[in-house]
Structure 1
Amino acid sequence: MTTTDSATPTGTSARPEAQRRVLTVLVTSQILSGAGLAAGVTVGALLAQDMLGSTDLAGLPSALFTAGSALAAVAVGRISQIRGRRPGLAMGYLTGAVGSAGVIAAAVADNPVLLFIALFVYGAGTATNLQARYAGADLAVPAHRARAVSTVLVATTLGGVVGPNLAAPTGTLAGTLGIPTLAGPFLLSGTAYALAALVLAVWLRPDPLLLARRLDREQRTEAPPAEAAADAGPDLAPARRPRLMLGALTMILTQLVMVAIMTMTPVHMHDHGHGTAASGLVIAIHVGAMYLPSPLTGWLVDRYGRTVIAVASGLTLLAAGITAAVAPAESVGLLALALALLGLGWNLGLVSGTAMITDAVPLATRAKTQGLVDVSIAIAGATGGLSSGLVVAAAGYPVLALTGGVLALAVLPAVAATASSR
């Protein structure tokens, strides 16, 4: 077993073996990070509402850790571009663990300012969790890229489903330690993120991006001069730009709609008498729907094409918004269905959009470009999270849900415009 990137055998025969090892390590880290991500999402808005005594800014925690993920996406992308995926991803998860500790400290001190700063730092875990999907595709052949992405995403399911359901037990544990109950899930988040960082730092060898670059260089040196020159340039070919833009837009729309509706659902349930366990169950179902369908989604994207599944994403998010808007507040079942559709629509958009981005961007600039795309995704999520509380305060949860569903349909004209530009 190799311990360094340079020790990997040369030639394309190294690719399948290295890809299997990379996916194994990524799956392990994603299980851990999924628990860290979902646990914080479950109670972040409730913790802010409890401190501020108002729902007007209940969407601010989601906006802050999503905005924090934007900055982290740039950092993780640039570190990965220069030094490889391993140091970039490990540093991102470690930063998320620091943010979790800060949230706990803010809750103990009852300090909203410290809470908001800590949530911003905590967002690094969210960015890193998403950036890991790109690492799964670095060594994958084009025909299997979506399936490689989906393998990494589905690994988040186990931790993502378990995390929210531990909200009540971790709250009890926090109480025994003298920590406010709502801060309990961040104990789990901090531990999970730290362990994910350790797994990647120790075992993500060979580094998938560095190995992919080396194999690509070797392949080009063996290719005819004309083909090597055509593939060597780092600039994005004009024919690829529409795919890059469509992939980014698909993921931006799905993130904005998903974060807005997801953020305010626990608050909506809390305001109508549901406890933490009920909202935790709904979020667990949502997170499961975000990641569990990934193997099927990856197969569909590779089989039927990126744009077909992007259109399916918009239609599914519309169905989610309508279901959430008409669901009675006392119906946990219908809200769970709406959030399941919301997660599925997000999954369809993320896998198809990621495949478009990876197809369009050459290895020479891949990590940097992927990081910049994820910044846009994070900003969209921050916008959705921040505006969601204001919309609910002004017009109610059903209006928020329906508006989000309709907004998701913007992917349809984008697909049509891309098709006409070819």
Structure 2
Amino acid sequence: MPEPEHLAGIYPDTGPQPSTPARSAVDAVQRRTMIVLVFAQIIGTVGVGVAPSIGILLAGAVTDNEAWAGLARTASTLGAALLGLPLGTLAARRGRRVALAGGWWTAAVGAAVLVVAAQWSLVVPLFGGLLLIGAGLAVSLQSRFAATDLAQPHHKARSLALIVWVGTLGSVLGPNLGVPGEIIGAATGLTVYAAAFLIAALCLAVAGLVVWMWLRPDPLLFLGQAVPPAPAGPGSRQPGRIRQVLAELRVNRRARVAVIAILTAQIVMVGIMTMTPVHLTHHGGSITLVGITISLHIVGMYAPAPLVGLIADRYGHRPAITAGLGVLAASLLIGAVKPDDTGWTITSLILLGIGWSFVNVAASALFNAAVSAETRASSQGGVDALSNLWGATAAFASGPLLAVSSFSLLSIVALIVLIPLGVLMAGRTLTHQNA
């Protein structure tokens, strides 16, 4: 699909047009966009970070049933999967500002509902709140794509990676909201869980406000990349966004490879990460040890992102994805061979996070570069929705598998999941400049 006329002269593959905005003007908007996205990402991910930590504890306390608690633990991921595509479609039609602010505010409502669920131990609000707070995860993921809308071609991966990296701060702070929650609870009479989700609701609401107030001009609308639906004539039917995305994936090999890489990394990472705390506690590990292990894993997931972006921009997406694939394989081999050694298990989980970072950041940048402008925003929401859906599926499947087998077998199964991506990386699937 040809680029819009007003992109000509900004990107090297288009011809000169007199109406083109000056590159300096585009760069100025990009700098403002990045500042707003960074602040919103840091504040918002503090609220999102509550779900996989305090949310898990709340699920166990409210349901008092392991089966229901397990379902509640994945509810926020399912919420992100369900809301990812609608938010992407909203961005395509109305711009990033509306979609991102709306997503943060939806998550804030979810956190507020969880305050009620935590205070009065209500099961239905628990599930509803966790599903809604999943919008924050979906928006956090889509923010990384928003960072690339106006970035120069050779800086797109680095811009995407910066937004991933700053999410480290929120992901580390969020699980610790129980500490200020105790202080607020003592002053207000709220339970510690209710107070923690109250803080989360405020953070998510502020993140939405930051985007709504200051993400101007909208990066997706600035260069005309949002594609509003054409007016339908009498009796005409417009093709659905999902069908547009699927149609593009059928003919766009680079986009397909990127999607396979993103899904593979997510399935492997979530499946192993979800069961590692269970495995450690079964071998006598304390809650403190589990917390440290997961924190190190999260650092591994986000800290290398700027390096990955630099490698992808300078040397291409394939080397970065291949490196991540190798790190993931090393992590799983350690898990398969040394499952009973705590030190090696921690090392394995750190490597698991690093490998995921390499594959996810590089593949996301590849997908952003490969997909056409017409379906870009919707496709970005769609791939994030698929990623979260498959991650939730992996979390469900890994529990019974560990229960009937061992951590070694779980690691071996994850290694097998890596094989198709390894075959693609060994082939000629990414034959494209800077792929």
Give the TM-score, by structure 1 length. 0.83
Question: 1:53 and 1:320, CA in 2 relative to 1: closer, same or farther beyond 3 A?
Answer: farther
Partner of 1:191: 202
Partner of 1:244: 255
Q: CA RMSD in A?
A: 3.2
Is this contact kept in 1: 2:81–2:388, CA < 8 A? yes
Matched, 1:357 2:357: no
**Which of 283, 296, 311 in structure 1 is aligned with 2:307?**
296
Partner of 1:411: 421
Q: Percent identity?
A: 36
Q: How far apart, CA to CA, are the structure 2 residues paired with 1:184 and 1:340?
A: 31
Is this contact kept in 1: 2:103–2:138, CA < 8 A? yes
Structure 1 stretches lacking a partner, 5+ long: 1-8, 217-233
Partner of 1:341: 351
- The residue type paired with residue 13 of structure 1 is S
Is this contact kept in 2: 1:78–1:367, CA < 8 A? yes
Matched, 1:164 2:175: yes
Larger helix percent: 1
Partner of 1:77: 88
Is this contact kept in 2: 1:59–1:388, CA < 8 A? no
Q: How far apart, CA to CA, are the structure 2 residues paired with 1:264 and 1:143?
A: 38
Q: How far apart, CA to CA, are the structure 1 residues paired with 2:59 and 2:426?
A: 41
Matched, 1:374 2:384: yes
Q: How far apart, CA to CA, are the structure 2 residues paired with 1:198 and 1:267?
A: 38
Partner of 2:157: 146
Is this contact kept in 2: 1:149–1:298, CA < 8 A? yes
- The residue type paired with residue 158 of structure 1 is L
Question: 1:380 and 1:83, CA in 2 relative to 1: closer, same or farther beyond 3 A?
Answer: same
Partner of 2:215: 204
Question: 1:54 and 1:236, CA in 2 relative to 1: closer, same or farther beyond 3 A?
Answer: closer
How many residue pairs get aligned? The number is 398
Matched, 1:92 2:103: yes
Aligned-pair CA distance for 1:239? 11
Give the TM-score, by structure 2 length. 0.81
Structure number with greater CO (CA < 8 Å, separation at least 6) is 1
SS at match of 2:23: coil
Q: How far apart, CA to CA, are the structure 1 residues paired with 2:179 and 2:364?
A: 35
- The residue type paired with residue 295 of structure 1 is P
Matched, 1:395 2:405: yes
Q: How far apart, CA to CA, are the structure 2 residues paired with 1:269 and 1:204?
A: 44
Which has the higher mean CA deviation after the structures are superposed, 134-143 or 354-363?
354-363
Q: How far apart, CA to CA, are the structure 1 residues paired with 2:144 and 2:63?
A: 36
Is this contact kept in 2: 1:165–1:284, CA < 8 A? no
Question: 1:88 and 1:180, CA in 2 relative to 1: closer, same or farther beyond 3 A?
Answer: same
**Which of 116, 121, 134 in structure 1 is aligned with 2:132?**
121
Aligned-pair CA distance for 1:200? 0.7
**Which of 39, 42, 53 in structure 2 is aligned with 1:31?**
42
Structure 2 stretches lacking a partner, 5+ long: 1-19, 228-244
Matched, 1:284 2:314: no
Q: How far apart, CA to CA, are the structure 1 residues paired with 2:183 and 2:193?
A: 9
